[in-house]
């Protein structure tokens, strides 16, 4: 299929990130485990001879290399990877972001003389941008909420009218509202799926895994593009209106991140415009800071939890805590909460009352004192936490198997859309079935719901199951938390919980924007309330001193289910604390989250981590795997290393760039090949990035014998940003090939090096603590012996599964199952 090829193309055309490692099994790539010849680079030889010598080296280690680099799909060797478990592969094609500024001569020359007034201006701009991020994120959240509210209201009203009419006039036309329900849902989901599949595939799912990766330092293509925002924001409206078991909260986090990236850069790749402002923020490092703020603002708007938002950003992103940055992030979060509050209050006709802090609020628990708890209840909470961990583990397992099935079989565009439609129709049909079969009736007076459906209930009563389905999931969560004791029958809740659990499992991973928080909260609230009802029946006769409020147990169940699936820790605790508005109830929530995480971790990882792993993203964990002090740098590093001299011929640079996909090249002294077989690649001078070389070639800043090249400015490197330009697209005239390029002023002299004896934990700490994308491994003479990149570290992983810790080493692959 031609269209499938086009879809795959952007991924494959990217050069892989600093991949100095070859794709052979690990024993062959270990330093010293195979005897190999050092670079036989002749200083006086031709460029071709130089390259030939380098290549010979590489070939001794890895004869298969070329096949992977040149055409990964064509080789039969590639197919063998499908036999390896999909999450044991690391896709080396993901690029790292540069969180460490390149300190080259021109940087130092341009940065040093900048006065304090410039710094002040930059500071003011930082606050201004954060303010805008908060306002826009809040506004987008408000618009999404209002649109969903209105459309859903229309939809539910229509269905209610049809059901009521069919039941009342008893013409047995109940098939009509069913068809209507299915058709309305399918229509919504179709729009959402088309937006994702045709406009921005990156907008699928909750976006939290993508933002995690971005903040971690991995560039996921198109993740912060405006078209992704549009697909995400509009798509999530329609997937919620389409009645899927999805929430709109996760996508808000992604939306906030895109807004932040767009505003802070003052330009858009989607619309191809450039305001020409805020150039000083055009670095990966600055952009990351703003994206942290945007993600936090998204959480703040979604849950009315500004502090939870800050902690989310820190938990997922910060390797280096910065006080000033954190304060700005909190400011963005606060602004987003405030803006959303203002918009929703105004929309609901109570301007300035500021009673709508987030898209989902759990409502005020404190006033009826149902959130006080007795010490004897804590063991029950803990057991519920464990149950949440168990069901969460099950959820993740089913979803993992489903995801692998999707990777293998559902990769065509029309199949992806078909699957979404099937889920939409099944969701509607099963909901309708539950409503149809349910005989759980409540009197209308007791519990106000917006669209009470009478169905087969007596006059003055309404169908409780219908009230769960015929309102937005957020309203259903609140109903389960706050409806008075006795509203729900146990049987209805049990059926609902199982049904929604399965639907949510199936839905996550569809090609629609889909938040996971709300379906999980709803499932957990249902079984939590069930527990509350059970306890209430069992105990209230005996222990009148300990009244059981089912709503409180619904909250605990919701926390347990959510914690068991996503396994987030501190930020989730704070988000739930802020959403419930109770400091006192923070401890039970935290205990429940701890239990559910620990029990769930016995079986598998959190759902976001599973999806990150399935994508083969080289994600860096917080710390090195334990007990890896005996793994020295020379064991994890990639080599041989392609090095350049400070002054190189244009021809050689061009050929190196075409031949090697690496993202950076160490620059070394003019060195003589060692006679004693020591495998080094020259004494380290500095580091130059592929993107910098591309700018140099593109701007033709070549020196010939007659004249030296004009020196480029920092601006030239910031503006062109040629990360995606393939070297083939750069035209170099025949007569320029013999000219030279002076790399000296552009190489990063401050680039970090590490001794070849340094341990894995130490290198890990450097990467996380300093935000590095690579580090050069040198021997005691500062001669380059290898490079450690993000992929080299991400390959080592520990999994705590079935009560045991496993130390695993991932395979590297350029041909990854998720590509297909």
Pick left, alpha or beta for residue 811 (phi over 0 → left; psi -120 to 50 → alpha; otherwise beta): beta
Q: Please report, as residue ranges, which positions from 746 to 765 form the binding site for its own copies (by CB under 8 A).
A: 749-750, 753, 755, 757-759, 762, 765
* 682 Rama sector, left if φ>0, alpha if ψ -120 to 50, beta otherwise: left
Toward its own copies, which CB reaches closer, 323 or 707?
323
CB of 666 to its own copies, least distance (A): 13
Count of residues engaged in binding its own copies, rule: CB under 8 A: 87
Sites for its own copies among residues 592-611 (CB under 8 A): 594
Using the rule CB under 8 A, give the single segment among 20-28, 225-233, 271-279, 318-326 that binds its own copies.
318-326
Among 74, 77, 84, 120, binds its own copies (CB under 8 A): 120
Q: Looking at residues 161 to 180 of the shown chain, list those that interact with its own copies (rule: CB under 8 A).
A: none
Which structure tokens are listed for 510? 């569809």
Q: Hey, what are 279's tokens?
A: 């150039």
- Using rule CB under 8 A, residue 718 touches its own copies: no
Residue from 175, 324, 490, 647 binding its own copies (CB under 8 A) = 324
| Min dist. Cβ of residue 782 to its own copies (A) | 5
Q: For residues 130 and 457, which CB has a smaller minimum distance to its own copies in the complex?
A: 130
Q: Any residues with CB less than 8 A from the CB of 405 and at least 6 apart, and which?
A: none
Residues 6+ apart with CB under 8 A from 397: 603, 604
804 touches its own copies (CB under 8 A): yes
Quickly tell me which residue has 């030279």 as its tokens: 740
User: What residues have CB less than 8 Å from 466, skipping those under 6 apart?
Assistant: 163, 435, 438, 452, 453, 455
Q: Is residue 675 a contact point for its own copies (CB under 8 A)?
A: no
Could you tell me the two tokens for 730?
């750069």
Q: Is the dihedral of CA 460, 464, 466, 470 positive or negative?
A: positive
Which is closer to its own copies, CB of 183 or CB of 354?
A: 354
115 sits near its own copies (criterion: CB under 8 A) = yes
372 binds its own copies (CB under 8 A): yes
Question: Smallest gap, in angstroms, from Cβ of residue 758 to its own copies?
Answer: 5
Of the two residues 26 and 765, which places its CB atom closer to its own copies in the complex? 765
770 binds its own copies (CB under 8 A): yes
Using the minimum distance from each CB to its own copies, give the nearer residue, 470 or 758.
758
Q: Which of 94, 214, 281, 373 binds its own copies (CB under 8 A)?
A: 373
| Shortest separation between residue 478's beta carbon and its own copies, angstroms | 17
The CA R_g of the chain, rounded to the nearest whole Å, is 29
Strand pairing category for 664-668 and 644-645: parallel
* Pick 137 or 337: Cβ nearer its own copies: 337
Binding to its own copies (CB under 8 A) within 618-637 occurs at 622-623, 626-627, 629-630
Cβ nearer to its own copies, comparing 374 with 738:
374
Distance CA 336, CA 356 (A): 12
Phi, psi of 349 (to 5 degrees): 80, 10
Q: Tokens 């340094």 correspond to what residue?
A: 758
Residues of span 125-144 touching its own copies by CB under 8 A: none
| Nearest distance from C-beta of residue 235 to its own copies, angstroms | 29
Residue 805 binding its own copies, by CB under 8 A: yes
In angstroms, the CA 553 to CA 549 distance is: 7
Applying CB under 8 A, does 504 fall inside the site for its own copies? no
> What gap in Å lies between CA 779 and CA 361, rounded to an integer?
57
The span from the CA of 567 to the CA of 565, in Å, is 6
Query: For residue 566, which of 315, 784, 758, 320 has the smallest C-alpha distance?
Result: 315
Nearest residue (CB) to its own copies, 204 versus 593: 593
Instruction: Return the exposure string of 749-762: e unless at least 16 CB atoms fall within 10 Å of the residue's CB, then b.
Output: bebeebbbebbbbb
SS (H, E, C) 566-633: HCCCHHHHHHHHHHHCCCCCHHHHHHHHHHHHHHHHCCCCCHHHHHHHHCCCCCCCCCCCCCCCCCEH
Q: Is 544 in the site for its own copies (CB under 8 A)?
A: no
The distance from CA 159 to its chain's CA centroid, rounded to whole angstroms, is 36
114 touches its own copies by CB under 8 A: yes
If one asks whether residue 809 binds its own copies (CB under 8 A), the answer comes out as: no
Q: Identify which of residues 156 and 331 has a Cβ nearer to its own copies in the complex.
A: 331
154 or 374: whose CB is closer to its own copies?
Answer: 374
SS (H, E, C) 713-736: CHHHHHHHCCCCCCHHHCCCCHHH
Q: Supply the minimum distance, in Å, between the C-beta of residue 473 and its own copies.
A: 22
Query: Cα(first)–Cα(last) distance of the chain, in Å?
Result: 12
What are phi and psi for residue 326, nearest 5 degrees? -65, -35
Query: Does the footprint of its own copies cover residue 769 (CB under 8 A)?
Result: yes
Q: Is 349 in the site for its own copies (CB under 8 A)?
A: no
The distance of closest approach from Cβ of residue 350 to its own copies in the complex, given in angstroms and rounded to an integer, is 10
119 binds its own copies (CB under 8 A): yes
Report if residue 221 touches its own copies, rule: CB under 8 A. Answer: no
Q: Between 114 and 446, name the residue whose CB sits nearer to its own copies.
A: 114
Q: With respect to its own copies, which residue has the nearer C-beta, 182 or 590?
A: 590
The answer to whether residue 678 forms part of the interface with its own copies (CB under 8 A) is no
Q: What share of the chain is helix, strand, coil (3-state, %, to 5)?
A: 55, 10, 35
Single residue of 12, 502, 766, 797 touching its own copies by CB under 8 A: 766
SS (H, E, C) 265-332: HCEECCCCEECCCCHHHCCHHHHHHHHHHHHHHHHHHHHCCHHHHHHHHHHHCCCCCCHHHHHHHHHH
Contacting its own copies (CB under 8 A), which of 25, 32, 276, 375? 375
Q: Does 107 bind its own copies (CB under 8 A)?
A: yes
Q: Residue 771 Cβ, how far from its own copies at the closest point, in Å? A: 8
Considering the complex, state which of residue 659 and residue 782 has its C-beta at the smaller distance from its own copies.
782
* Binding letters toward its own copies, positions 554-593, x by CB under 8 A: ---------------xx--xx--xx--x-xx-xx--x---
Nearer to its own copies, 38 or 750 (CB): 750
Q: Write out the binding residues for its own copies, residues 295-314 only, by CB under 8 A.
A: 304-307, 310-311, 314
**Min dist. Cβ of residue 721 to its own copies (A):** 22
Q: CA-based diameter of the chain, in Å?
A: 100
Distance CA 447, CA 479 (A): 9
Cβ proximity to its own copies, 465 vs 593, nearer residue: 593
Place of tokens 């300093």: 770
Nearer to its own copies, 104 or 228 (CB): 104
Inter-residue contact 795 to 812 (CB < 8 Å)? yes
């Amino acid at each position: 299929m031609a269209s499938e090829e086009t879809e795959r193309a952007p991924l494959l055309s990217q050069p892989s990130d600093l991949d100095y490692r070859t794709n052979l099994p690990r024993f062959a790539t270990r330093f010293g485990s195979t005897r190999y010849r050092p670079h036989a680079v002749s200083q006086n030889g031709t460029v071709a001879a130089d390259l030939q010598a380098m290549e010979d080296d590489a070939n001794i280690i890895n004869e298969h290399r070329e096949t992977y680099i040149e055409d990964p799909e064509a080789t039969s060797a590639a197919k063998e990877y499908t036999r390896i478990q999909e999450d044991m592969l690391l896709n080396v094609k993901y690029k790292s972001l540069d969180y460490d500024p390149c300190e080259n001569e021109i940087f130092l020359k341009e940065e040093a003389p900048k006065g304090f007034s410039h710094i002040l201006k930059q500071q003011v701009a930082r606050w201004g941008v954060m303010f805008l991020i908060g306002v826009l994120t809040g506004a987008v959240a408000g618009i999404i909420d209002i649109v969903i509210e209105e459309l859903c209201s229309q939809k539910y009203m229509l269905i209610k009218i049809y059901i009521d009419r069919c039941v009342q006039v008893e013409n047995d036309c109940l098939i009509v509202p069913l068809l209507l329900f299915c058709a309305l849902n399918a229509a919504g989901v179709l729009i959402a799926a088309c937006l994702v599949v045709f406009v921005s595939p990156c907008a699928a799912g909750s976006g939290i895994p993508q933002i995690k990766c971005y903040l971690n330092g991995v560039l996921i293509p198109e993740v912060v593009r405006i078209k992704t925002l549009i697909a995400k924001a509009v798509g999530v409206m329609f997937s919620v209106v389409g009645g899927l078991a999805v929430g709109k909260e996760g996508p808000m986090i992604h939306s906030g991140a895109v807004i932040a990236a767009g505003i802070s850069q003052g330009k858009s790749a989607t619309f191809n415009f450039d305001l020409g402002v805020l150039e000083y923020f055009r670095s990966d490092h600055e952009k990351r800071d703003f994206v942290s703020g945007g993600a936090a603002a998204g959480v703040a708007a979604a849950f009315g939890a500004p502090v939870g938002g800050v902690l989310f950003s820190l938990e997922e992103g910060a390797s280096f805590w910065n006080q000033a940055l954190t304060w700005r992030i909190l400011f963005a979060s606060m602004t987003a909460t405030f803006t959303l509050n203002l918009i929703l209050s105004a929309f609901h006709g109570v301007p300035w009352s500021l009673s709508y802090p987030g898209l989902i609020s759990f409502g005020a628990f404190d006033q009826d004192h149902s959130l006080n708890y007795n010490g004897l209840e804590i063991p029950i909470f803990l057991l519920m936490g464990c149950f949440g961990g168990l069901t969460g583990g099950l959820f993740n397992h089913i979803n993992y198997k489903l995801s692998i099935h999707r990777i293998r079989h559902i990769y065509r565009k029309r199949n992806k859309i078909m699957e979404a439609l099937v889920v939409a129709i099944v969701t509607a049909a099963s909901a309708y079935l539950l409503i149809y079969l349910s005989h759980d009736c409540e009197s209308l007076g007791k519990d106000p719901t917006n669209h009470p459906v009478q169905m087969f209930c007596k006059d003055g009563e309404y169908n409780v199951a219908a009230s769960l389905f015929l309102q937005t999931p957020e309203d259903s969560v609140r109903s389960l938390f706050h409806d008075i004791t006795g509203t729900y029958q146990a049987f209805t809740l049990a059926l609902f919980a199982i049904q929604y659990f399965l639907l949510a499992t199936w839905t996550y991973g569809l090609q629609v924007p889909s938040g996971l928080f709300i379906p999980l909260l709803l499932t957990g609230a249902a079984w939590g309330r069930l527990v509350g009802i059970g306890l209430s029946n069992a105990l209230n006769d005996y222990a009148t001193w300990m009244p059981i409020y089912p709503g409180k147990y619904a909250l605990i169940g919701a926390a347990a289910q959510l914690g068991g699936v996503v396994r987030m820790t501190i930020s989730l605790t704070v988000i739930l604390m802020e959403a419930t508005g109770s400091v006192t109830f923070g401890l039970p929530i935290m205990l429940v989250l701890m239990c559910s995480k620990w029990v769930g971790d016995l079986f598998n990882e959190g759902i976001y981590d599973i999806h990150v792993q399935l994508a083969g993203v080289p994600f860096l964990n917080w710390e090195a795997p334990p007990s890896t002090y005996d793994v020295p740098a020379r064991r994890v590093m990639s080599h041989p290393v392609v090095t350049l001299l400070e002054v190189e011929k244009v021809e050689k640079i061009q050929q190196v760039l075409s031949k090697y996909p690496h993202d950076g090249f160490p620059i070394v002294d003019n060195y003589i090949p060692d006679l004693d077989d020591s495998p080094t690649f020259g004494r380290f001078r500095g580091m130059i990035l592929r993107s910098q070389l591309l700018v140099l070639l593109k701007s033709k800043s070549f020196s010939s014998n007659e004249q030296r090249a004009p020196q480029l400015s920092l601006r030239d490197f910031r503006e062109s940003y040629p990360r995606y330009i393939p070297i083939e697209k750069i035209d170099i005239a025949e007569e320029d090939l013999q000219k030279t390029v002076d790399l000296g002023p552009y190489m990063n002299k401050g680039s970090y090096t590490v001794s070849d004896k340094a341990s894995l934990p130490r290198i890990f700490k450097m990467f996380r603590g300093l935000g590095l994308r690579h580090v050069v491994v040198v021997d005691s003479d500062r001669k380059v012996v290898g490079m450690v990149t993000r992929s080299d570290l991400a390959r080592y992983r520990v999994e705590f599964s079935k009560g045991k810790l496993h130390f695993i080493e991932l395979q590297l692959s350029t041909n990854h199952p998720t590509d297909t």
